[in-house]
């Protein structure tokens, strides 16, 4: 069970509750809680650079607090100050779709975006601003620092995406063609 919990938590884009994990694994919640506590102790005793944390929102993997300064230094290092393509994509999604959850960002990008979201949070370009009432996931929004870096006063001043989107008639035609091709297969 511990390997299953590790795998799930590594893939999760937000903290996971023991009750949800027990439902997925079809085992008793108490057994999951015991296993998670044992894993947290194991990682703490082994001297890893990460730890298994239990927060108010559930269980998650995080950098060990002992390495917070070095991780912050790495993230804010001038040589790594340029944002990666993944970070830029995630930042654009947050900017144009805010408020948005990590899962929604991952869904739009098609890949887990936790690492880049953490980088954007540490750099102060986005922040957690409330919870989604349905999923209890943190809502992400841009920060005043983002606006300052963009040279704008509000997200309403972001450039329009319309010039980069296909014409509506063309998009409908393309979708229709793809649907017809799929039906004929």
pLDDT for position 70: 87
Say whether pLDDT at 52 is over 90.
Answer: yes
pLDDT for position 56: 83
pLDDT for position 64: 87
Say whether pLDDT at 117 is over 60.
Answer: yes
Stretch among 51-55, 67-71, 117-121 having the lowest mean pLDDT: 67-71
Q: Are 35 and 6 in contact (CB under 8 A)?
A: no
Q: What is the pLDDT of residues 56-80, one digit of tens each?
A: 889 998 888 888 888 877 766 655 5
In 3-state terms the chain splits into helix, strand, coil percentages (rounded to 5) of 60, 15, 25
pLDDT for position 168: 56
Q: What is the pLDDT of residues 138-155, one digit of tens each?
A: 999 999 988 888 888 888
Q: What is the mean pLDDT of the chain?
A: 85
Q: Are 101 and 139 in contact (CB under 8 A)?
A: yes
Q: Are 28 and 72 in contact (CB under 8 A)?
A: no
What share of the chain has pLDDT > 90, as a percent? 45
């Amino acid at each position: 069970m511990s390997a299953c919990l590790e795998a799930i938590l590594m893939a999760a884009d937000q903290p996971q509750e023991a009750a949800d994990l027990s439902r997925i694994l079809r085992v008793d919640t108490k057994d999951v809680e015991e296993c998670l506590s044992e894993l947290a102790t194991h990682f703490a005793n082994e001297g890893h650079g990460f730890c298994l944390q239990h927060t108010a929102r559930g269980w998650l993997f995080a950098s060990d607090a002992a390495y917070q300064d070095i991780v912050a230094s790495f993230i804010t290092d001038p040589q790594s100050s340029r944002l990666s393509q993944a970070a830029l994509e995630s930042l654009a999604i947050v900017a144009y779709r805010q408020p948005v959850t990590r899962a929604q960002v991952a869904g739009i990008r098609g890949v887990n975006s936790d690492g880049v979201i953490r980088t954007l949070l540490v750099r102060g370009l986005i922040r957690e601003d409330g919870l989604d009432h349905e999923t209890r996931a943190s809502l992400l929004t841009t920060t005043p620092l983002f606006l300052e870096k963009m040279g704008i006063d509000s997200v309403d001043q972001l450039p329009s995406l319309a010039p980069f989107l296909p014409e509506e008639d063309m998009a409908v035609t393309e979708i229709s063609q793809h649907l017809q091709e799929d039906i004929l297969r």
